[in-house]
Structure 1
Amino acid sequence: MEDAPVKPEALDAVVFDVIGTLVDEDATWASAAARIAAETGSDGTVDLLAGWAAALDLRMSAVVEGDEPWRPHRELVVESARAAVSTAGGELTAADAAQLAEIEAGYPAWPDVASATAALRRNRLVAGLSNGDLDSLARLANTNRISWDIALSTGSVRTFKPAPAAYRHAIDALRIEPTRTLFVAAHPWDLRAAAAFGFRTAYIARPGAERPSKDDRFDLQLEDLDALVDYLDGGDPRRPL
């Protein structure tokens, strides 16, 4: 954590990344990849999972760069899985494609999410900003007891993070001042893009997530959301990284 982190009283709102930060996508993807590999005879769950993730990243990047038209996130998830299965020597079934189209609505929340988001809402505006589709975000909040005032999808501006329009969407939709808003994510790339818009930033460590580089200068780096609540309630981060 920086020597002089943002003061709690200087923050009016907290905006969370959702997938990976509030909910765990990795375990769900691993389970789906193992099932699909077994059903289709594809070569290796690990290779299939890696190919699926890489294909999704490429498709989302193509949309951000303007090389491909925007499509709903769920469509890209299915397209990417189909491409990865084909590369691994199999063919995605219609039943699996239908299940994958709804996969992000079923991600489980990390254990600290329900209590921490409820605590943060007592004194501040709390929002989610996600590349996931809006209906999936609503279902995630319902099943995982995520307490936010509103969830925003980058689909509303037909792009994905880290496109600048995604962060501008949050600023405009919520009518917030970025310098008085804490953007919270488990992804350094997301925090870097948010910081470029003037957001204050908090990195939350999650299992398997990318770690900040030595050059990253986030306002807070904490091990979990409970530590974030402690800091914003009293200015004392008991569990910094």
Structure 2
Amino acid sequence: MAEIRDIEVVVLDVLGTLVDEPGGLRAALREAVPAPDTASVDAVLTLWQQYVEREQRRIAQGRRAYVNTDTIDTEAAQTVADHAGLTDPAVIARLATAGRRLPPWGDSVSGLERLARHFPVLGLSNASRTALPRLNAYAGLRWHQALSAEAASAYKPAPEVYRLAIDTAGCAPERVLMVAAHAWDLRGARATGMRTAYVRRPVGDPPTGSDLFDGRFGGLDELVTALTTG
């Protein structure tokens, strides 16, 4: 646990940090794709994840014009359908919206409520403008404001996405704390001058020994305690 001082606004990543993205996608795939075992479902999940990562990387590299997560998820769902032999349009359409039905981690809802008593709390997600409010409602996440990277026509870790949060916070970046379970996300935030805190999740991207984050925490409750006591 670490103490983090002089913070005015807390910004949290959503996918993977507050909701179990792989678990939610796995459940949707299990519902849509007839698979005899967990290994088969995991293989299809990997296909989905690799497609999304590849397309977002192509956008970041300027090899594809920006499209939001609604479009990429629709393409990923069709890729999975083609692989698994799915032909029912209704099943494919529901699968394309799986990213709107992701369960929260056990401490996410209570942690946000505790944080909101002490700080303005912002969500910052790569999820689209239309997907993000539905995801928040499904998971029971309550924000002072939730920001979609779609407003910047980019995906994290592009600096313009973090500037959305800094501009909304209305204070110096060193007084804005970015919280995530992904070291790559925190590196992007730190490059724009934000403070950073890593929260461990069963999924995510752990820090390396060379990452100079302001704090590393075993869960959201531990982070909230560090921010609100002392």
User: With structure 1 as the length reference, what TM-score do the two structures score?
Assistant: 0.86
Choose the corresponding residue for 2:170, options 165, 170, 175: 175
- C-alpha distance in 1, partners of 2:87/2:227? 46
Give the direction of change, closer, same or farther, for the CA distance of 1:223–1:53 in structure 2 (3 Å limit). Answer: same
- C-alpha distance in 2, partners of 1:143/1:36? 19
Give the aligned partner of residue 196 of structure 1: 191
1:60 paired to 2:64: no
- C-alpha distance in 2, partners of 1:96/1:165? 36
Stretch of structure 1 that moved more, 123-132 or 206-215: 206-215
Choose the corresponding residue for 2:19, options 23, 29, 51: 23
Deviation for aligned residue 1:44:
2.7
- C-alpha distance in 2, partners of 1:92/1:131? 29
Aligned AA (2:64): E
- C-alpha distance in 2, partners of 1:214/1:93? 48
Aligned AA (2:160): A
Q: Percent identity?
A: 35
Aligned AA (2:216): Q
Secondary structure of residue in 2 paired with 1:201: strand
Deviation for aligned residue 1:217:
1.6
Aligned AA (1:196): A
Secondary structure of residue in 2 paired with 1:230: helix
Secondary structure of residue in 2 paired with 1:38: coil
Give the direction of change, closer, same or farther, for the CA distance of 1:72–1:93 in structure 2 (3 Å limit). Answer: farther
Alignment length (residue pairs): 227
Deviation for aligned residue 1:228:
0.8
Deviation for aligned residue 1:183:
0.2
Secondary structure of residue in 2 paired with 1:35: helix
Give the direction of change, closer, same or farther, for the CA distance of 1:64–1:110 in structure 2 (3 Å limit). Answer: same
1:73 paired to 2:38: no
Q: Is the 8 A contact 1:81 1:92 kept in 2?
A: no
- C-alpha distance in 2, partners of 1:196/1:97? 39
Matches for 1:20-169 after TM superposition, within 5 Å = 20-38=16-34, 44-86=40-82, 88=83, 90-91=85-86, 93-169=88-164
Give the direction of change, closer, same or farther, for the CA distance of 1:105–1:84 in structure 2 (3 Å limit). Answer: closer
1:229 paired to 2:224: yes
Give the direction of change, closer, same or farther, for the CA distance of 1:196–1:48 in structure 2 (3 Å limit). Answer: same
Deviations 1:207-235 (A, max 9, x none): 12222112112111111111011101114
- C-alpha distance in 2, partners of 1:152/1:117? 15
- C-alpha distance in 2, partners of 1:35/1:145? 22
Deviation for aligned residue 1:135:
2.6
Deviation for aligned residue 1:91:
4.4
Stretch of structure 1 that moved more, 69-78 or 50-59: 69-78
Give the direction of change, closer, same or farther, for the CA distance of 1:100–1:74 in structure 2 (3 Å limit). Answer: farther
| Structure 1 residues not aligned, in runs of 5+ | 236-241
Q: Is the 8 A contact 1:82 1:92 kept in 2?
A: no
Q: Once superposed, what is the RMSD of the aligned Cα atoms?
A: 2.0
Deviation for aligned residue 1:6:
5.6
- C-alpha distance in 2, partners of 1:207/1:193? 21
Stretch of structure 1 that moved more, 26-35 or 188-197: 26-35
